[in-house]
Structure 1
């Protein structure tokens, strides 16, 4: 472990012990400075992210990173003082007139491991929750977005003392060392495969973890859906950041016989959103040559095993610019890699079903997804799918937008993750919700002690009936 990383952690731990429960004005000040950091440097950060990706439009960073970051901070500033107040709880009848309450307390030092796909929002979002809860924060940025990581680190150094917020940059080895620090809580966003390693490292210190992973997030077009609208919203969700989104639709389930209709509509939608794709600045590039090659291999392997590819553009993938136009895959089989791995790019398998029961069974036969999307107007069908499937989060008749609701928790389930944050749920994740029982001077529990006799027996008959 690098000496500086450990020294930074030790300084944070010492600062946390000196001021274990910061008052709200101190927490609010940190949140306001974080907000100012984002708003004042948004163009520079968007430019750094675009350079790291080879191209990502400023507008996409504004929409998918700056806006949710600011909205989350504003939500915490509005409600944080209330979240940190002690909460009364009912006390059992036989223990009255004692009282009970919950006292939220900061955990101490929180570690946050940030992925490359949304390096601003997936740092600021959990930072907001941790700071609102009164913690100190260490953040490990991804080595795949080095320009942004260095800029963000310099901005944080200029705005915060290193024992309040510190940014750690480095490669995979630095991430392993980071995950092995004895944090009071560790939040990791990334792949399921790496999530195993992070949880294993954290277990050495019994560090509690929140894992925001990924998986195969289905989009179900129900029999009563507005079909054209469903195609449009699925394409919007799939092409944002060129599909490099943990909750992007990973495959589509649609009624049998509708595959060609979906393909025709998807091609029209894509052409309208991204005309002249080869030079369109609104379309994001794939983040690295390795990720670009992986997507090419996924599509090629599926076709070699019998799947059919339907490009949504006449442009072929371009390794020089890492621009990868979307492609649909039909005739896919469950055993293909493209149906086993999270795609994380603009490849979209399309799977037909005969009945909605078949669609539900297909989803339930696979690991529980981080997100599920249902397009349907019939209330009974909606209720059935909601009650008979399990997913980290759901948007109905749209994609992605459940993640932007600060009053909803965001998190996975099973292979797609554990724990949740956003809004008050994030505050609670990064707090010890300490239960406190306050005995009264007029307590009668003294009757329940040895030597046991007739009085004890009479009292127990009242308690156990």
Structure 2
């Protein structure tokens, strides 16, 4: 049934305009694509302070330095990589032909898909809007972006900046509530990329199925970390604290729980407490620690902690301060002995609660991970090749980092995406270009060829040829 809400009607008109514009220019040159990427780079970097200020206001507190490092630097590097490599990615790829098709030639020709839809979450609003847009523009597409209503100032400014930079029939931003988001995912885009929760990902995929719209789903899940038996323990804890506190844990690839050698739990807590004191001194007023995005999200984290405590878990505060609902400042809390069936151990946490799960052998740690839905990220702290090889090959995750957290996302040459419940498809770098392209296979036959030898009427000649062909 057609939705007659004004904002939905405007969205549908925008999609029609972009599709018509695509059909008028279905294969933009590299010079045209590069100009679009450079314009995007300029507007984002020129207005990075204003966007960071808007983000700070939306969150209640978010450090400008964190925003520049975690969002704008990654955007800059991604655009620079696309400008270096995009012209080569556009070239047709020669492929081999089997001997019975000779002298035919085979190739794969990358073509723009058309109009791409991008649904953006609230936690990294610039990075997760511009990152997919870079891939879409490099592949020669047009795009419509739906921003999050939870970051209204950032979303409004981003819409304004994109409108100043691109014509609406090329790149456009729409803003609205969940009703518009639902209508957005139901539009007949040529490709739809959604970043968000697994729960909403189900709804997006169902809506897209109506038009058989291909989807890339960047979801989440419970990303594990393993501290190996012979790992550099202090380095591991320091990295995990850094990965868990960036954006106050409101990161889809944040470590969700830590598999730690049994007996090392207290050592982990003590080292983590010391690391927090170093990173965020004077925690209550520290300007570098991000607030939780909303009262609803803050209350959810409190509920997860309270339910785990009531079920027998122990909570280990690392800053000596309690979560503050007024500022929505929620300190990192390590959790031990959390029952496996409590919500903390079943849901993606998306905040600064960090359960420890003791293990006895590497077999046990691998089995624990493999008994659960496949995560978006997996972190291993180990230096011995045996442990690294086993975890690499015996677990499946969207991405993996060794002796590091989060930074695989910053490597623009690596694809980023989930697997199973943590998502499908990938973008960044060449994989992003391929995601937003139709990699069209093309076979070109020569004037003189053997096609007529296998045409009807079938008889002795074809039987002899088949006998020969089946032997080789």
| TM band (smaller chain) | over 0.9
Q: 1:100 aligns with which of 93, 100, 106?
A: 106
Alignment of 1:77-156 (within 5 A): 77-156=83-162
Partner of 2:193: 187
Q: 2:358 aligns with which of 342, 345, 352?
A: 352
Q: 2:216 aligns with which of 205, 210, 213?
A: 210
Partner of 2:396: 390
What's the offset of the Cα at 1:248? 0.1
Number of residue pairs matched? 465
Partner of 1:275: 281
SS in 2 for 1:186: strand
Partner of 2:23: 17
Q: 2:428 aligns with which of 411, 422, 434?
A: 422
Residue by residue, what CA displacement relative to the aligned partner does 1:321-378 show, whole Å, maximum 9, x if unpaired? 0000010100012101000000000000001001111000000010000000000011
CA distance in 1, matches of 2:286, 2:307: 28
What's the offset of the Cα at 1:461? 1.4
Q: 2:78 aligns with which of 47, 72, 97?
A: 72
Within the alignment, does 1:237 sit opposite 2:243 as a pair?
Answer: yes
What's the offset of the Cα at 1:315? 1.1
CA distance in 1, matches of 2:440, 2:397: 29
Within the alignment, does 1:463 sit opposite 2:469 as a pair?
Answer: yes
Partner of 2:269: 263
RMSD: 0.6
Within the alignment, does 1:445 sit opposite 2:451 as a pair?
Answer: yes
What's the offset of the Cα at 1:113? 0.3
- Of stretches 280-289 and 445-454 in structure 1, the one that deviates more from structure 2 is 445-454
What's the offset of the Cα at 1:319? 0.5
Residue by residue, what CA displacement relative to the aligned partner does 1:248-297 show, whole Å, maximum 9, x if unpaired? 00000000000000000000000000000000000000000000000000
What's the offset of the Cα at 1:116? 0.2
Q: 2:66 aligns with which of 60, 81, 97?
A: 60
Using structure 2 for the length normalisation, give the TM-score.
0.98
Within the alignment, does 1:403 sit opposite 2:403 as a pair?
Answer: no
Using structure 1 for the length normalisation, give the TM-score.
0.99
CA distance in 1, matches of 2:284, 2:31: 51
Runs of 4+ more than 2 Å apart: none
SS in 2 for 1:93: coil
SS in 1 for 2:338: coil
Residue by residue, what CA displacement relative to the aligned partner does 1:141-197 show, whole Å, maximum 9, x if unpaired? 000000000000000111110000000100000100110110000000000000000
What's the offset of the Cα at 1:441? 0.7
CA distance in 2, matches of 1:457, 1:5: 59
Q: 1:361 aligns with which of 367, 379, 397?
A: 367
Within the alignment, does 1:248 sit opposite 2:254 as a pair?
Answer: yes
Partner of 1:374: 380
What's the offset of the Cα at 1:224? 1.2
What's the offset of the Cα at 1:406? 1.3
CA distance in 1, matches of 2:177, 2:319: 36
CA distance in 1, matches of 2:464, 2:189: 50
CA distance in 1, matches of 2:287, 2:458: 82
What's the offset of the Cα at 1:449? 1.1
Q: 2:233 aligns with which of 227, 234, 243?
A: 227
Partner of 1:413: 419
SS in 1 for 2:374: coil
Alignment of 1:157-196 (within 5 A): 157-196=163-202
CA distance in 1, matches of 2:330, 2:179: 30
SS in 1 for 2:110: strand
Q: 1:328 aligns with which of 327, 334, 337?
A: 334
